[in-house]
Structure 1
């Protein structure tokens, strides 16, 4: 599984790189703040909503600590999606939040 640090994601966004960020936390967790531009699909709904994702794009998976996003990454990879897990999750995020 490919990984990026929260700092690498933050720097890429600061440089103007377009990233497809998928936040797999529950809605209540996301309400406390998410990475700007991130799309929320809770892990429990991912199986039912993965058809909303484009296999030609790369997705950066985010959760609170990196565990759920790791599971989501493995799940999506098994279906042919190109994903990167943000190691350490939002606990390591120091950038701005929406």
Structure 2
């Protein structure tokens, strides 16, 4: 098991399950990072804005796959969403997530 799998878990099966259920890809990087490249169709809400957007995100009524540059911020975002009764998983870095989709 690689270090990243140990830290972030191997969630390929969960990602595929979420994808089948029309999950929203939520990119939590900064605007300049997002503008430099992102997964097509992903929604951009910077990590620091997640707490103020919980009601909006709940209204999507869909599971959420979070992503960022490396997986650290998206892990934090997924935890915040889960703590607010939103089904979410950490998709990790956006580039690696894009390959899994």
Query: TM-score, normalised to structure 2's length?
Result: 0.71
Which runs of 5 or more structure 1 residues have no equivalent in the other structure? none
Q: Which residue of 2 aligns with 1:23?
A: 27
Residue 57 (structure 1) aligned with residue 55 (structure 2) = no
Give the structure with the higher percent helix: 2
Residue correspondences, number:
87
Is this contact kept in 1: 2:25–2:43, CA < 8 A? yes
Query: For the structure 1 residues 2 and 46, does the alpha-carbon distance in structure 2 shift closer, same or farther, using more than 3 Å as the test?
Result: farther
* Cα 1:85–1:93 shift into 2, 3 Å: closer
Aligned 8 A contact 1:58 1:82 in 2: yes
Give the ranges of 4+ consecutive aligned residues of structure 1 lying more than 6 Å apart after TM superposition. Answer: none
- The structure whose residues are more often strand, as a share, is 1
Q: Equivalent residue for 1:38?
A: 42
Compute the RMSD of aligned alpha carbons.
Answer: 2.6
Larger RCO, structures 1/2 (Cα 8 Å, 6+ apart): 1
Tell me the alpha carbon deviations over residues 34-72 of structure 1, each in whole angstroms, 9 at most, x when there is no partner. Answer: 101100000011111121112631000010000000001
